[in-house]
């Protein structure tokens, strides 16, 4: 099926991670021109290919602006932005024990970084007049996640308040531009390493119809669909959940 992404100029943030790297590969397979962002994992980002590999701390306003300046200079503009970058704090901490420092760091690394990325991209849309933004949220933002209220709150803000505001704002400067969200459930990636062994899979999939975790390529294909004007040209303001039919309740008994 033709996606219409050949030759499109694409930025993938968090391109050194599992989901980000899979997105880079998926766009490259469609013959898009891909800029790969990383924070600390330059070697991993380079391994996924891409026309440009550039580092930045996405919680730093000046670095985000410099990132987009560099991408624009290298690619001559930007058609698609995929905001993957984010951090899941693995330690299970209930709210009554949650330090303010972790709360603020998690929101900064997941919500503020996405806001700064989206803001910079919308400024590109004002120049280009068209484009597609796909942000990565999480099922934690849809159903909550005990022990990770900070992460759930950040991703909920991305999937709801930020998304629904942006899809209405973006058409003021680019009438055909679209903004959507992919919300992955449990996915095999460097961020979840050690948390998806067989015993954990048995536990976490008790709320899922399909008793398996996703692969990064599952998420990348959803991103590709939403990024494509050919496939999803009339889709905006939507959350595409890729989570094996996850529900906010247990639907399988313990073995």
pLDDT digits (tens, 9 = 90+) for 135-152: 999 999 999 999 999 999
Options 38, 121, 151, 225, the catalytic residue: 151
Q: How many CA atoms lie within 13 A of 200 on its CB side?
A: 10
Q: Give the model's pLDDT for residue 190.
A: 64
Q: Give the model's pLDDT for residue 39.
A: 94
* Residue whose C-alpha is closest to residue 162's, from 72, 83, 228, 224: 83
Using CA atoms, how far apart are residues 138 and 186, in angstroms rounded to an integer? Answer: 9
* Residue whose tokens read 């979840």: 192
Tens-binned pLDDT, residue by residue, of the chain (255 aa): 799 999 999 999 999 999 999 999 999 999 999 999 999 888 888 888 889 999 999 999 999 999 999 999 999 999 999 999 999 998 999 999 999 999 999 999 999 999 999 999 999 998 889 999 999 999 999 999 999 999 999 999 999 999 999 999 999 999 999 999 999 998 887 655 555 566 677 777 778 888 888 999 999 999 999 999 999 999 999 999 999 888 876 666 665
Confidence (pTM): 0.92
151 a catalytic residue:
yes
* Residue whose C-alpha is closest to residue 111's, from 181, 36, 191, 38: 181
Taking each helix axis from N to C terminus, what angle separates 216-227 and 18-29, rounded to the nearest 10 degrees?
A: 50
Q: Give the model's pLDDT for residue 255.
A: 58
Residue 37 bridge partners (DSSP): 54
Using CA atoms, how far apart are residues 109 and 155, in angstroms rounded to an integer? Answer: 11
Give the three-state DSSP class for 250. coil
Q: Give the model's pLDDT for residue 248.
A: 72
Q: Give the model's pLDDT for residue 199.
A: 65
Domain annotation for the chain: domains and CATH numbers? 9-239 (3.40.50.720)
């Amino acid at each position: 099926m033709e996606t219409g992404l050949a030759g499109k100029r694409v930025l993938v943030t968090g391109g050194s991670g599992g989901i980000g790297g899979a997105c880079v590969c998926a766009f490259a397979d469609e013959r898009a021109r891909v800029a790969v962002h990383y924070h600390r994992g330059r070697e991993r980002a380079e391994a996924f290919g891409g026309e440009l590999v550039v580092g930045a701390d996405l919680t730093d306003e000046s670095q985000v602006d410099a990132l987009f300046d560099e991408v624009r200079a290298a690619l001559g503009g930007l058609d698609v932005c995929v905001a993957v970058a984010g951090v899941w704090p693995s330690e299970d901490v209930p709210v009554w024990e949650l330090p303010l420092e972790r709360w603020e760091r998690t929101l900064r690394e997941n919500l503020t970084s996405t806001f700064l990325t989206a803001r910079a991209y919308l400024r590109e849309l004002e120049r280009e007049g068209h484009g597609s933004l796909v942000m990565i949220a999480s099922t934690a933002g849809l159903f909550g996640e005990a022990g990770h209220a900070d992460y759930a709150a950040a991703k909920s803000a991305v999937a709801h308040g930020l998304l629904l505001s942006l899809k209405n704002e973006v058409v003021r400067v680019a009438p055909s531009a679209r903004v959507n969200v992919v919300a992955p459930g449990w996915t095999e990636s460097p961020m979840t390493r050690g948390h998806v062994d067989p015993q954990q899979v048995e536990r976490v999939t008790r709320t899922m119809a399909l008793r398996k975790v996703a692969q990064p390529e599952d998420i990348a294909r959803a991103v590709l669909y939403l990024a494509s004007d050919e496939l999803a040209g009339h889709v905006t303001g939507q959350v595409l959940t890729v989570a094996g039919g996850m529900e906010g309740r247990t639907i399988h008994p313990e073995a």
